[in-house]
Amino acid sequence: MGVGSWLAAGEYGLIAPAELVRSRGGRYATALEIDLVGADSGERFKWFLAAILYGTRISEQLATRTWHEFAARGLLTPQRILDVGWEGLVSVLDAGGYVRYDFKTATKLLAVCNALLHDYGGSLDNLHAAAAGARDLEARLKALGKGIGDTTVAIFLRELRDIWSKAAPSPAPLALNAAQALGYLAPPTNAAGRALLQLRQVWTKTGQPADGFADFESALVREGLRLRRARSRHSVPISTKR
């Protein structure tokens, strides 16, 4: 069955997409009061810092608390992070509960900020402008420092979809798991590009604005995390990737 006939049949899933966003939450950046749409490139750096924290195997709650510790201390620019130094970063990370990965993350943040300032004048927007395309953008983000891997880059770019022209990550496995469970995806869904197209059409054909799709995608990730926790209690395997 094609996407058009799937939607025409009225199969919008177990919950309307807009209601899923309202109940589960949309962009993580919005919850952190980060304005990804505005002209200030510093907002994109704030979200990159958050993505680095979320990209480690640590709970969402601890990562969020740690980001707020950075915000409370005004450590939301590459230069401020460099100024506080390694010991200062470890202290902030520990205050947020990021104890298990504090040394490694402090080292990673210093390397990333050094590279971003040296290679792109401290601006992620400059990095985006320098990228030849979507895959080069991902490669440049990973090259900022050891430990910036696929998960961190995917978290970061997912919420910049339709804001940065070259932000085109594959849908997160957690989002696909949730979309299938909620009935948004018509089989087959083994091709990421096809699944993304189907989800975009579900979103827009239910009357939602195209530029709000990233909120739907993030809501699906949140639902996927909820499903993973529920299934882990019953020992049912599910993808661990965000």
Q: Is the pLDDT of residue 114 over 60?
A: yes
Res 189: pLDDT: 61
Instruction: Go through 141-154 and write b for each residue having 16 or more CB atoms within 10 A of its CB, e for each that does not.
Output: beebbebbeebbbb
Res 200: pLDDT: 94
Res 14: pLDDT: 83
Share of residues in the chain with pLDDT > 90 (%): 82
* C-alpha span between 43 and 148 (Å, rounded): 19
The model's pLDDT over 66-76, given as tens digits with 9 standing for 90+, comes to 999 999 999 99
Q: Is the pLDDT of residue 176 over 90?
A: yes
Res 233: pLDDT: 74
- Break the chain into its structural domains and give their ranges: 3-27+171-232, 32-158
Which of 58-62, 77-81, 184-188 has the least mean pLDDT? 184-188
pLDDT-derived band at 234 (thresholds 50, 70, 90) equals low
Res 192: pLDDT: 79
* C-alpha span between 199 and 151 (Å, rounded): 21
Most confident of 2-6, 32-36, 172-176, 226-230: 32-36
Share of residues in the chain with pLDDT > 70 (%): 89
Phi then psi for 130, rounded to 5 degrees?
Answer: -80, -20
> pTM, whole model, 2 decimals?
0.88
Whole-number average pLDDT of the chain = 90
For the segment 147-175, the average pLDDT, to the nearest whole number, is 96
Which of 20-29, 74-83, 150-159, 185-194 has the least mean pLDDT? 185-194
Q: Is the pLDDT of residue 65 over 90?
A: yes
Res 131: pLDDT: 98
Cβ atoms of 121 and 177 within 8 Å: the answer is no
Instruction: Go through 62-90 and write b for each residue having 16 or more CB atoms within 10 A of its CB, e for each that does not.
Output: bbbebbebbbeeebbbbeebbebeeeebb
What's the 3-state SS for 166-229?
A: CCCCCCCHHHHHHHHHCCCCCCCCCCHHHHHHHHHHHHHHCCCCHHHHHHHHHHHHHHHHHHHH
The CATH classification of domain 32-158, taken from the options 3.40.50.10490, 1.10.1200.10, 3.40.50.920, 1.10.340.30: 1.10.340.30
List Cα–Cα distances, 232 to 11, 21, 229, 239, in angstroms: 28, 24, 5, 11
**Nearest Cα residue to 46 out of 187, 159, 184:** 159
Which of 136-140, 156-160, 206-210 has the least mean pLDDT? 206-210
Res 224: pLDDT: 94
* C-alpha span between 44 and 48 (Å, rounded): 6
Res 5: pLDDT: 38
Structure-token pair, residue 128: 């985006």
Res 221: pLDDT: 96
Between residues 236 and 71, the one the model is more confident about = 71
